[in-house]
Structure 1
Amino acid sequence: MQIRPKRGRSVPDPARSDLLPAEGRNVEESSYWLRRLADGDIEQFRTEKKPVADTKKQGGE
């Protein structure tokens, strides 16, 4: 799950022994992170993936 701390919050990441960065990170879904989400310490987000242009020629040429 991709999460980031809500504005003004410092949230420890026990798996990495540091604080969750403001830009967020991908973490394993666990009871710890679900509790942080329920308490309003973090928010989930999704990154927008830009489509990659297909560089292969069509038609077998």
Structure 2
Amino acid sequence: MDLRPVLLPPPVSMARVEELSREIERIEILFYGADRRAAEEAVAAFAEQIVDVAPAHRSIAL
């Protein structure tokens, strides 16, 4: 396993972790509720937000 610091994601504030957690919980409620389309749209928006925040990590192969 390669543990070079350059491959680690940037640090994330606790406020950001809480924000992401709330958004995931909101998507979960939509997903298990009757509004499947809203859930799919929320997942797509969430994914765009994550990619926009960490563009440097897009090219890292797992």
Q: TM-score scaled to structure 1, two decimals?
A: 0.25
**Looking at CA atoms only, which structure, 1 or 2, has the larger radius of gyration?**
1
Higher relative contact order (CA 8 A, sep 6+): 1
Structure in which a larger fraction of residues adopt strand: 1
Structure in which a larger fraction of residues adopt helix: 2
